[in-house]
Amino acid sequence: MSWQVDYAHTQIQFSVRHMMIAKVRGTFEKFNVLLNLDEERPERTTVQAQIETASINTRDAQRDAHLRSADFFNSETYPLMTFVSERVEILSAERARLYGSLTIRDVTRPVAVDVEYTGQAKSPWGTLSAGFTAQTVINRKDWNLTWNQALETGGVLVGDEVEIHIELEVVKQGESQTEAVA
């Protein structure tokens, strides 16, 4: 039986320092995840994700437009960010490290993502769901996202480290299912 991503209960979020004193948080609203979850041999699980760069949402239209521009994602030329897993390292029954390649714009680099299995639950509609939390930190300059502004007080406007946080919920297919949204 396969598992399908529940997009209504899945989020791709990020945060980055602003003016070296606070964090700006945002999400990507449009993405596609292909998950081949191997329950018997979790180390064989594979993940492929495509994230629409133009779907960035930081709750500030002017900032979002700047992030879509050539200074950052250049969404017109590079509409997708992609992640392709290469291997899974099982750390415990609830934890794993997912290694893969992240492509932003025209740069592909290796990343390691810490994954926590948060369990399974049966919904009131009879479906079985499983949850995962994933986190990593990347340096945006490694993907040639180098735009910045010096601050009069010292430091820069945009931090280099980007924290990525993913909440993933999947629904087992082939079970007795009713079309319902929680």
What fold is seen in the domain 3-172? Lipocalin (2.40.128)
Chain position carrying tokens 């009131």: 124
The answer to pTM > 0.95 is no
Q: Which residues contact 53 (CB under 8 A, 6 or more apart)?
A: 28, 68, 73, 74, 75, 78, 79, 80, 81
What are all long-range contacts of 144-147, with beta carbons under 8 Å and residues at least 24 apart? 144/105, 144/107, 145/72, 145/73, 145/104, 145/105, 147/71, 147/72
Question: pLDDT, tens digit, for every residue of 120-171?
Answer: 999 998 999 999 999 999 999 999 998 888 888 888 888 889 999 999 999 9
Q: Where are the domains of the chain?
A: 3-172
Cα-Cα-Cα-Cα dihedral of 66, 72, 73, 77, to 10°?
90
- Angle, alpha carbons 89-53-132 (nearest 5°): 30
Average pLDDT over residues 26-37: 94
Indicate the residue type of 57. N
Question: pLDDT, tens digit, for every residue of 67-116?
Answer: 999 999 999 999 999 999 999 999 999 999 999 999 999 999 999 999 99
Alpha-carbon gap, residue 133 to 115, rounded angstroms = 6
Cα atoms in the Cβ-side hemisphere of radius 13 Å centred on 97: 7
Average pLDDT over residues 18-31: 92
